[in-house]
């Protein structure tokens, strides 16, 4: 009921031309990306043409896409990825895999389907891949999703990198 009330209120403010919730520096789009079952609201915000995507908020930090990942909002993420000009790369996958919350396998699948399985093996600034981050974050669902996506992709030559990454991550969290 709370989420339904939010969408009604958000639509009211949107109809009145609001783009930022005053005093909080957070856009209604950010909130819509966090709230489950709000994909139609996300589409409505984009249909307005000029959407405030402020990233500096007292309560929500990150881009709307990052907020959708954080909120585990697959519908909003899919909706955002469907808009022309919205681009993501392996860093969003690494962000999703580094979050210590269980249950983001659907989000991980959406991201990998959008950017390709090869991105799973791209290292971050510390040399960790998305798979290594998922293992470190102790998220078996994300690990399983990533391994599933890799099964048809990974060339034999990259197996060494893959195994080293898994062993390094396992040592970090004391898996034997």
State how far the alpha carbon of 27 is from the alpha carbons of 22, 106, 131, in Å.
9, 25, 32
The pLDDT of residue 176:
43
CB-CB neighbours of 19 under 10 Å: 16
The pLDDT of residue 2:
47
The pLDDT of residue 156:
53
User: CA–CA separation, 140 vs 48, rounded Å?
Assistant: 40
Q: How would you classify residue 85: left for phi > 0, otherwise alpha for psi between -120 and 50, otherwise beta? A: left
Cβ-proximal residues to 51 (8 Å cutoff; 6+ apart), any chain: 19, 27, 29, 45
Is residue 130 helix, strand or coil? helix
Q: What is the pLDDT along the chain (176 residues), one digit of tens a residue?
A: 445 666 666 667 667 666 555 555 567 777 778 877 777 777 777 776 655 555 555 566 778 888 889 888 899 899 888 887 788 999 999 999 998 776 689 999 999 999 998 899 899 999 999 988 998 888 888 888 888 888 766 665 566 566 666 666 656 655 44
Q: What is the DSSP string of 25-71?
A: TB-HHHHHHHSTT-HHHHHHHHHTS--------SS--S-HHHHHHHT
What are the structure tokens assigned to 50, written together?
A: 């000029």
What are the structure tokens assigned to 93, written together?
A: 């996958």
Residue with tokens 């990998």: 112
The number of CA neighbours under 13 Å toward the Cβ of 110 is 21
**Are 100 and 63 in contact, with CB atoms under 8 Å apart?**
no
Is residue 166 classed exposed, middle or buried when 0-12, 13-18 and 19+ CB atoms within 10 A define those classes? Answer: middle
**Are 117 and 153 in contact, with CB atoms under 8 Å apart?**
yes
What are the structure tokens assigned to 154, written together?
A: 């990974």
């Amino acid at each position: 009921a709370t989420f339904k009330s939010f969408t009604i209120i958000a639509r009211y403010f949107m109809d009145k031309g609001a783009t930022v919730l005053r005093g909080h520096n957070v856009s209604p789009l950010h909130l819509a990306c966090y709230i489950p079952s709000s994909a139609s609201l996300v589409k409505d915000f984009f249909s307005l043409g000029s959407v405030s995507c402020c990233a500096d908020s007292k309560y929500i930090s990150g881009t709307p896409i990052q907020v959708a990942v954080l909120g585990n909002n697959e519908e909003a993420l899919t909706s955002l990825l469907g808009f022309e000009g919205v681009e993501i790369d392996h860093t969003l996958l690494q962000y999703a895999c580094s979050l210590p919350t269980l249950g983001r396998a659907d989000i991980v699948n959406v991201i990998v389907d959008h950017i390709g399985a090869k991105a799973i093996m791209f290292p971050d600034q510390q040399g960790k891949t998305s798979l290594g981050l998922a293992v470190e974050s102790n998220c078996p669902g994300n690990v399983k999703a990533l391994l599933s996506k890799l099964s048809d992709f990974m060339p034999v030559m990259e197996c060494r990198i893959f195994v080293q990454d898994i062993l390094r991550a396992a040592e970090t969290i004391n898996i034997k």
